[in-house]
Structure 1
């Protein structure tokens, strides 16, 4: 049996491509489709480009010279239906070219009505009732439209909803069905919902979650077909058994933030652009304080966390040599809305009266605030990205900002009171340790050291190929400009991210020693680095 997987972008099937790299007999990638083969089953992955024109042309050209038993279209989509959860998987049972037709004053005449062709297409291959046997493949069905321009205007959304009553929209689906129909190839379309159809608001999108679920489905589905039988509403397809044993992958839970510095260093690791030594990863994207809380509960095998938080979980986790964010001129800042002059001159005496928005109790930013101003006790915990708005709206008097907000606060008219990174550097002469990567102490020692090696490999790959993960980084960067995105990376990813070295470890130990002397953190063992372990 020969299968063609079709996607508009490589990013939408990146995990699938790299999973196949480790679980198939033969694999090659490049400008041509990536090819995977086991026994009598062959899978090609074709990247068409975005939109119905690119899809119809590239797919049609490819099918002219290649025969397939089944074509599967994988991609993300927007949902008109609010009962469909973001990240949910849907099997498309009908797809319509929404704009193919003519206008007659306020009336739209579809191409079918004009007598010039067909505007709605259906698949001729279905998943069937797989959920009964394979819960991971329990995918619901939905109808969709295919558009040249994704909807983001309330009036146009209302009109298309009234005319076609679609549940989803994409830019390729109907074109995929059309091309497959012309070549008499069975077709199946699967979409993961990344956003709701509404006024454009990237802050509400869940592209990462949608892509993760889409690839999880694809891997499970293809592996199911490789194992032997696929139930459908049409027939039962039997595949010859594999001709070799698939390597056993060790799957670990991994948590890091969607911030550019983290996605930059982890891109090669989670997408298997490097040798991961048999490790695979289930990724969780969370803000740093959520990751800190998960670490407190020991939920993840590997996680990013604040160095302040590490003091409370040193019995559960060990610090890895790579992936850390340390540096000079990278510290958190205290900002305000009005002229900071009076505050700066009397900050120590006034700070106890100020309501301060902080990015989390266990963040290193909050630790530094307590170190510099022990009487700063009136604190409100906020998601770091909400702090600027909280200051502007007067919900807090001052805000403690981190990450890319260092580059954006001035654009919003906010003013710096003090850079706590500068404060630390003047006090110690050391780089400020902000966040690190840790591995769970319950993992076998060989796995911990394997993670340490693989993570360094990932960071080195990122430095050598800085544009390789651009699409992945951008997909998690929300409204951040590319300039700010790379400023963020340049600020927080440096030599300490490759390897802490003795200098980095000395700065971390000094941070903890200072905090313990002031009784800010609890006592814990000094065996905190992976190199301290046998």
Structure 2
């Protein structure tokens, strides 16, 4: 079975057991490790993988061929994307983004969708140019003055001070205050032609194994995390792998519906049958 997910600690932690043949009855996996912008594009390619991790923001474009699985993804509180600048004054006035160049990790990322919803309300006249780049290149680009601001995800929330950057807005905090719901970040999808109930069961078993044996995945996680500090990797996992990873539940589905519903109203994504997301 072909699968694609990021090399980030939360994904490698979740899928370690399945990848290493530790989930009884689960088929062998052919894994592609790729940045979220790449997996979002793989999901709309003619020969995309059987199972993928994508942004929830990309979901409306893939639902003809793929279905949302109720487990394995990233959704939670206190884990939202950040907008960073190098402004030495440390201002938190959104007006500083008016007409500026902003780097984002993917045009179909949840981070960018949240940013567009927020900017429509808070940045007078709108931002200027949007530049798409791999998320690990964004903070150095802001630090070096190549762009004016960066929209960052993942472990950047723990490491941005080391780049001399300032927090302009925590989009997760904004979303949670505005909706009282968690943030839907990364979704796991599977081809509609497959036994999705079985796949969800294998993913859930992999998550359960990871929690029961956290030391078992450490070498695998750190190999793909490359130069990340082990403490940062652990904080990353603790933040993004939670009860919503085990099962979306009513609150999780409500969060997904709120995000995609609002975005569709603003014309940012195609309208979807929100009730059908559970199918």
Shared fold by TM > 0.5? yes
SS in 2 for 1:304: strand
4+ aligned runs moved over 6 Å, structure 1: none
Deviation of 1:378 after TM superposition, in Å, equals: 1.5
Contact 2:18 2:26 in 1 (8 A): no
* Residue of 388, 395, 399 corresponding to 2:150: 399
Aligned to 1:314: 63
* Residue of 267, 276, 279 corresponding to 1:519: 267
Q: Does structure 1 residue 387 correspond to structure 2 residue 138?
A: yes
Q: Relative contact order, CA 8 A, sep 6+: which one is greater?
A: 2
Deviation of 1:527 after TM superposition, in Å, equals: 5.2
Deviation of 1:312 after TM superposition, in Å, equals: 1.4
Check 1:321–1:469 CA distance in 2 against 1; reply closer, same or farther (3 A cut): same
Taking the aligned partners of 2:114 and 2:49, their CA distance within structure 1 comes to: 26
Q: Does structure 1 residue 281 correspond to structure 2 residue 29?
A: yes
Aligned to 1:240: none
Check 1:414–1:359 CA distance in 2 against 1; reply closer, same or farther (3 A cut): same
Q: Does structure 1 residue 259 correspond to structure 2 residue 8?
A: yes
After superposition, the C-alpha distances for 1:367-412 in whole angstroms (9 at most, x for unaligned) are 0110000323521001000001100111100111101111111112
SS in 2 for 1:353: coil
Aligned to 2:168: 417
Deviation of 1:526 after TM superposition, in Å, equals: 3.1
Query: Rg bigger for which structure?
Result: 1
- TM-score after normalising by structure 1: 0.50
- TM-score after normalising by structure 2: 0.94
Deviation of 1:337 after TM superposition, in Å, equals: 1.3
Taking the aligned partners of 1:524 and 1:340, their CA distance within structure 2 comes to: 43
After superposition, the C-alpha distances for 1:114-173 in whole angstroms (9 at most, x for unaligned) are xxxxxxxxxxxxxxxxxxxxxxxxxxxxxxxxxxxxxxxxxxxxxxxxxxxxxxxxxxxx
Aligned to 1:469: 217
Deviation of 1:354 after TM superposition, in Å, equals: 1.1
SS in 2 for 1:510: helix
Taking the aligned partners of 1:524 and 1:336, their CA distance within structure 2 comes to: 35
SS in 1 for 2:184: strand
Q: Does structure 1 residue 437 correspond to structure 2 residue 188?
A: yes
Aligned to 1:355: 101
Taking the aligned partners of 1:338 and 1:351, their CA distance within structure 2 comes to: 11
Taking the aligned partners of 2:84 and 2:90, their CA distance within structure 1 comes to: 12
Contact 1:369 1:376 in 2 (8 A): no
Aligned to 1:194: none
Deviation of 1:303 after TM superposition, in Å, equals: 0.2
Aligned to 1:495: 243
Check 1:528–1:264 CA distance in 2 against 1; reply closer, same or farther (3 A cut): farther
Aligned to 2:40: 292
Taking the aligned partners of 1:527 and 1:280, their CA distance within structure 2 comes to: 32
For structure 1, the residue ranges without an aligned partner over 5 or more in a row are 1-251
Check 1:278–1:481 CA distance in 2 against 1; reply closer, same or farther (3 A cut): closer
Taking the aligned partners of 2:52 and 2:68, their CA distance within structure 1 comes to: 10
Taking the aligned partners of 1:412 and 1:516, their CA distance within structure 2 comes to: 36
For structure 2, the residue ranges without an aligned partner over 5 or more in a row are 121-125
Taking the aligned partners of 2:84 and 2:191, their CA distance within structure 1 comes to: 36
Deviation of 1:297 after TM superposition, in Å, equals: 1.4
Contact 2:17 2:209 in 1 (8 A): yes
After superposition, the C-alpha distances for 1:78-125 in whole angstroms (9 at most, x for unaligned) are xxxxxxxxxxxxxxxxxxxxxxxxxxxxxxxxxxxxxxxxxxxxxxxx
SS in 2 for 1:418: strand
Taking the aligned partners of 1:258 and 1:278, their CA distance within structure 2 comes to: 21
Choose between structure 1 and 2: higher helix proportion: 2
Alignment RMSD (CA, Å): 1.3
Deviation of 1:274 after TM superposition, in Å, equals: 1.7
Aligned to 1:428: 179
Deviation of 1:507 after TM superposition, in Å, equals: 0.8
After superposition, the C-alpha distances for 1:386-441 in whole angstroms (9 at most, x for unaligned) are 00110011110011110111111111211111001011011100000000100012
SS in 1 for 2:274: coil
Aligned to 2:72: 323
Deviation of 1:341 after TM superposition, in Å, equals: 4.1
SS in 2 for 1:524: coil
Aligned to 1:448: 196
Taking the aligned partners of 1:403 and 1:528, their CA distance within structure 2 comes to: 29
SS in 2 for 1:357: strand
